[in-house]
Amino acid sequence: MLKQVRILVSGRVQGVYFRAFTQKKAKNLGITGYAKNLTDGRVEIVASGSEEAIDQLIKWCYKGPITARVDHVETESLNGEAIPPGFNVS
């Protein structure tokens, strides 16, 4: 069963390769979606994949890459969103 989520990550998460590492992790887990910087300093991740894969991605977001400092992770379930193939960074 597919699970779709929107994840918002706060802290020192821009300019530290957070999106690139998220893309690598998502691809390894077979997750589609995207990661992008928001103007308020957070990173937004929209992801679709198996429940187990999404849960692993969310868990990873609490730590992030070694260059990041994650202060807060917020998740929201999505239903039936049109999520593009692959995993893109913008």
How many domains are there within the chain? Answer: 1
Is 90 a domain residue? Answer: no
Catalytic residue among 6, 19, 42, 79: 19
Look at residue 69 and tell me if it is in a domain: yes
Q: Is 53 inside any structural domain? A: yes
Q: Please check whether residue 88 lies inside any domain of the structure.
A: no
Query: Catalytic site residue 12?
Result: no
d(CA 82, CA 78): 10
Active site residue 88: no
> How does the average pLDDT of the chain come out, rounded?
96
pLDDT at 80 over 90: no
Span 63-69, average pLDDT: 95
Residue 40 structural domain: 2-81
Which member of 6, 12, 28, 37 is catalytic?
37
CATH of the domain at 9: 3.30.70.100
pLDDT grade for 84, boundaries at 50, 70 and 90: confident
pTM of the predicted protein model = 0.95
